[in-house]
Structure 1
Amino acid sequence: MVATLIRLKKDLTFNAFNQSGWHILGTVFAGLYGLGIVGMVFSAQVMAGGAEVIDSQFIRTSSVLMGSAVFLLWLIIPVFISGADAAMNPRQFITYGIPRRGLILGLALTGLVSIGAVLTLVWLIGQVLHWRWDPAATATALLTLPLLLITFSLVSQAVTTSISAWLSGRRSRDFLAILALSLMVMIYPIMVGLQSAFSSLSDAVPSVVDFLTLTPLGAGAALPADAAAGHWGAFALRVGILAATVGLAVLVIRAALLKITERPAVHGSAGPKDAKGLGLFARFPATPWGAVAARASTYWLKDSRYGGTLVVIPAFVVLAIVMYSQLGQPWILLALGPVVGWMLGFAISADISYDHSAFALHITSGVSGTADRAGRLIGLLSFGLPATVLASLIPALMFTEPVTTLALVGVSLGLLLSTAGFSCLVSARFTYPVPRPGDGPLSQPSGSTGRLMIVQLGMLVATLILMLPEVILVIVWLLSDASLWGWLLGIGAVLKGLALVWIGVRLGARVYERSQPELFQAVSQY
């Protein structure tokens, strides 16, 4: 049975490359990116282990930090993909009556059939070469290589099965995904806070490393250092930590599989809830574009695929303020408003793709292209305008002058309008796979990576080209030091943004009306 599960994972992995050229392109790019990072780490490991003068403390520190980072990746990645239909989701094996022991071992081993496992194996081989200057450490690194691989896979599978068993509801998955995304944005402030607890980073690292070696994160990576130093008591302690981690992961997987296969939750049929009022539909005009705007605004408030952007923006503001307080660079806060405007304007570049089969409502009800494009745009601007203005006013509260504040607000609003107008055209012309309704905001459908990268890169380049007039005015303003150019910059950016909104809505409406059947066919397949 274990061999059958491994062959199944292998076949599913290779068959995924037959779906589309975009999927192959995205996978190749992701693999090359990961291989490049691991290759640099591998080279550093080889050079450090073959140096003429060996710094054992440095090698121990780097090994523990890298090992902890790898362990965290195996822990976090399942949270990111929890909303997707994982190929080896335990729920898919409920009806086959697979013995629980074989299923646990099979799921753990199938986790090693992945690009991430190959990259981890390269790093572990680098660990062996990292400690080749000491025979005991080399032997330990070699013996712990398979142990660490299976530990990573078991812990990752424990997270996956736990989410599937106890956090399978949509709200739970969305909360985990948005929490993970927010933590990614807040990594720098968190590190700054940890660093401030110590007098300097050099003082913090040894204490952090010593702590990590007593946790599952760094215990395995510290074993060669204990063997090289002859600290066999600490060696035995860390082996016990690893063994306890493996045992706990197996128990968690077993309990989760018991919950999934033998004690599934029974959801009673609740009666229909009493609807009170029309919600946002009562707030917008009773017109086609007003109905579309109300529907789009409802998505922003209740669909986590949209709401993830709203959660990230406050975290992004905190990140910018912390970076400014640490680095003292004014451009960090000056760029906050324009970046927020660009993020919000770009957010509707896949609005039709996010509709999925619900896009049929727009076709069957005969919504015109202008009403569709304008409604989605107004739904964004109803909160995007105040959010962008607030983000651009943060520097004004700290150091900018009135003319600079006016120019900054104008540029931020202009970038929001310009990007949103361009998105009105792009979303009607280019579609790509996005998370389906009900999936987590961080899930990645098959075949989405390549096309997504191309569209986003194209939009970024197009946005930079559209901002050339503002760049020229900024240069002239800085060279002349005349406040008149600041006024022209702010007002001109807004007027240009309004013009691009009008052009984007008109052109997007034409494309929309000309290609409605093709759009519906594309988004339904996604």
Structure 2
Amino acid sequence: MAAHVLRLRIALLFGALRGDAGHVVRVVGALLLLVAATAAACWGLLTLRDAATEEVLAVTVLGGSAVTLGFALAPLFGAVDDPLDPRRFALFGLPRGRLAFVLAVAGLISVPILVLVAVAVCAAIVWADHGVPVALGVLSVVLGVLTCALLARVCMALASLFLRDRRSRELSGVFVLVVLVVVVPVGVFLASLEWQGSVPTQLLEAVDALALTPVGAAWALPGMAAVGGEVWMPALIAVATVLALALLWAWAVRRLLTTTERPTTGRARGGLGWFGVAPGTPGGAIAARSLMYWFGDRRYVVNGLVIPFAAAVTVVPLLIAGVPPELVALVPVPFAALFLGWLPHDDVAYDSTAVWMHIASGVRGVSDRVGRLVPVLLVGVPLLAVAIPVATSLHGRWAVLPALTGVCAALFLSGLGLSSISSVVAPYAVSRPGESPFQQPQRTTAVGALAQGAVMLGALVLSAPVLWCGWLALQGDPAATDMALWGGLAIGFGVLVVGVTVGSIAFERRGGRLMEFAEST
């Protein structure tokens, strides 16, 4: 049976060359371009035979990590059907374990994997010229290729389970945000490095960090041996990654074979927008509805546009007061993080009477709370991921990057956690749907001012230890830098979890009062 599946896989590859003349020309043209690109990549690697070991290490680890991430992201955002979907082989009655193994082996026979093998072999040849044992180079190639192949199989299965027929412009927008989160910070970081005939120290530190991650461990094995580093840790991580992916693939095969595929038509999800992208759960539906409001309602749009202006305004008085520009460059980003976390503090009131859908349908509080945070996270995380390295580059000292990250994480996530409570416990009247966002209703109580101030002040108070560590990091204390990073993440996520939990309980208990508030404002 295994041989039969492999023959089918090879037949599918050659079957791409059949069809009308136009199709054959396009396929052949694409293959020629791919062969040319592969030859160029192999030639570029082979020219590194005489290069310094650090340069080869940086190229192979960074390039290998990027390729591994590509194998993970391509199935999630591509719209190609998987020819090796386990459900296609359900009628053969094979044991699930054997079927998972056969399909994993068949997944190695693909054009991207063949290209990867060719490039990886060239990298192994270069490392052999640098004195690395051939066996270690071969082990790196095997582990790297297996990681990419299994990662593609697992991500293809996940896409088949959860994202079938959900590829849309909204999902493409999410992909663009992911690219921004990854590419822009990396580009700013590389542009800031000082290349003076050798690999910058910061880049080597990034390589060392990637060598201890699942995406870069396999590719770092020969380089670690060449520079005299510890090989056992990357090797352990690489082997553990392959084993974990194999277990995930076995689970995915079992899940696919025991899950009934939903019948679809060619235009089943056309026009559903975010509802076609979000998971089919209560939280997913609330997230989709919130996304539609955030990107379509003028009230949300105006609130979002105020953030960059409010953050930029803080720069002017500081410059006038004589604060050094390199310090002023760091100020707008924490302000933006604070305002981003503060944004959903009255999200229930912006729903107006539409909140009855959540209450009448018996939606759990956690689904409502988490679903409403998705738009802010979808906007805030990419924005901060781009702004933090840019601000650090303007500051001039990349050593403050972890501290600035921790400060922003604490302010942003703490604000989200407190907002999850405030929007349920203390909603206040806002302009109704369709009204001008600048037309605010008259309020007879000070609940609105208290709610706004409580969320913002609470986020600042909870983040005070991280802000202090960040200030010490600016003074050159390396220990404070690490404390600011990990303390900021711990405080931020802790407050977020507590806030979502408390807000969920309050939402379930205050349903009647929320409906009364929505009807009376």
Normalised-by-shorter TM-score class: 0.3 to 0.5
In the superposition, the TM-score normalised over structure 1's length comes to 0.46
Scaled by the length of structure 2, what TM-score is found? Answer: 0.47
